[in-house]
Amino acid sequence: MAKYKKKRARELQHDKFRDTAGKIFDRVGDRLEGKGRTILYGLAALILAGVLVGLYLKWNSRKSDEARRALGRAIAIAIAPVAAASPAPGAPPPAYSSEQERAQNAIAEFEKVAAKYGDPYKTEARYFIGTNLLYIDRDKAINELAEVSKGSVPEAAALAKFALAQVREEEGKYDEAAKLYSELAAQNSGVVTTDIANLRLALVYDKQGKKNEAADLLFNIVEAARKAKDSDGTPLPESTASREAAEKLQKLDADRYAKLTPELPSGNLPF
């Protein structure tokens, strides 16, 4: 989740709506080109419509920029340093005295975003509210994440379900955690890939004493990654999830680990 927060903070600096406005007016120009005289009222109506669309897109772009900046500010609070018992030498001064204090400040900012802007910013803010509530009120956090996980914003929904699965795993409710991880594996979201979900599912199986099922999942993750190639037939580098799965498999079942396709030597990687 921390990686997503940092990635999302960077993405908030970009604006995709300005290109959309240009494309709309290019299409209007193409429709008029080479058509000869146009009925005056029809042309006037088209020009007026273009002006209205332009004004809306300009307004919408400003609102989107504003929402991105607001969400970015809230995310910056959520990942700000917290005072440590033994701070590392040269570490920046902490912004907050505890995780609870940081979470309260972050929630206040995310609530402003959720109250003022529409989706996807509203739902993304609610996801962050849920994750920060875990430091303050676990029951409220679970309810918030459950609602977001059923929402229509795919990234936030997947991340909320992943957070819920982690909570259930931490609570020892392994059947519930396994069900959520299985659903995420089937969805193969861009933010929670099948490999990530299956890796967590394998760890849950291990905790349940289902060693064979866990080993099968880990083996399949690594084997598929080591055999993966691009369109030119060049081997693809292994993901972090695949490397972690290999480490877990080696500890869990050394015999299955020995049957894996050998890892590509680092000198032969395509970069």
Helix (H, G, I), strand (E, B) or coil at 229: strand
Are the beta carbons of 222 and 246 closer than 8 angstroms?
Answer: yes
Q: What is the pLDDT of residue 31?
A: 40
What percent of the chain has pLDDT above 90?
64
- 1 vs 18, more confident: 1
Q: What is the pLDDT of residue 30?
A: 43
Work out the mean pLDDT of the chain and round it to a whole number.
82
Quote the CA–CA distance of 161 and 234 in Å, as a whole number.
34
CA angle 116, 120, 126 (to 5 degrees): 65
Instruction: Give the lowest-confidence range in 45-54, 64-73, 79-88, 230-239.
Output: 45-54
Are the beta carbons of 110 and 156 closer than 8 angstroms?
Answer: no
Quote the CA–CA distance of 27 and 43 in Å, as a whole number.
15
- List, for residues 77-130, the tens digit of each pLDDT value: 998 999 876 777 877 788 899 999 999 999 999 999 999 999 999 999 999 999
For the chain, the first-to-last Cα distance in angstroms comes to 28
Most confident of 2-6, 11-15, 65-69: 65-69
- Cβ neighbours of residue 16 closer than 8 Å, sequence gap 6 or more: none
**Predicted TM-score (pTM) of this structure:** 0.75
